Amino acid sequence: MADDIDTTDRRILAELQVDASLSVEQLAERVHLSRNACWRRVKLLEERGVIRARVALVDPEKLGFGLSVFILVRTSRHEPDWLRQFREAVTSLPEITGVYRMSGDLDYVLRARVADVKAYDRLYQRLIAKVPLSDVSASFVMEEIRDTTELPVLLR
């Protein structure tokens, strides 16, 4: 699929990753296309699933979610019923913003946004009430040096 995306598509994607609120006219001007050609390319990128959504990025601190937490999970359970229960648990907790099944020593890494350590403890209590876990630890982010949603689409 990546080979089907040409340089113009990549420029469109780069611009939209910075500002998805651009009008078609503004986007077309930035990538040096006519309005109609730009619109067709964006629609095709959406239809192919390259563009999954257009969203607003919200400042977590301004909404009271100033603490970013990485939750490290090890489990001795790997059967399908446990996995279903785990998926349901982590997707039902809105503070959990990312869930990753890992290779190596950890089974899962969860990314969460909470107000403070007490809010993390409440999240932890709700999580372990929903699914049995063998070992859970948390690392609290002291400083966010870089956190982006942008992919390096112009590198190739």
CATH number of 106's domain = 3.30.70.920
Residues 85-107: tens digit of each pLDDT: 999 999 999 999 999 999 999 99
- Give the pLDDT confidence score for residue 156 in this predicted structure: 60
- Looking at the structure, tell me whether residues 81 and 114 fall in a common domain: yes
3-state SS, 93-143, equals CCCEEEEEECCCCCCEEEEEEECCHHHHHHHHHHHHHHCCCCEEEEEECCC
Q: Given this model, what pLDDT does residue 4 score?
A: 87
Is 105 inside any structural domain?
yes
Between CA 16 and CA 1 the distance in angstroms is 19
Assess whether pLDDT exceeds 70 at residue 1: no
Does one domain contain both 41 and 69? no
Greater pLDDT, 1 or 74:
74
In a domain, 145, yes or no: no
The reply to whether 18 and 85 lie within a common domain is no
Question: Tell me, what's the pLDDT at 75?
Answer: 92
Q: What is the number of structural domains in the chain?
A: 2
131 lies in which domain range? 61-140
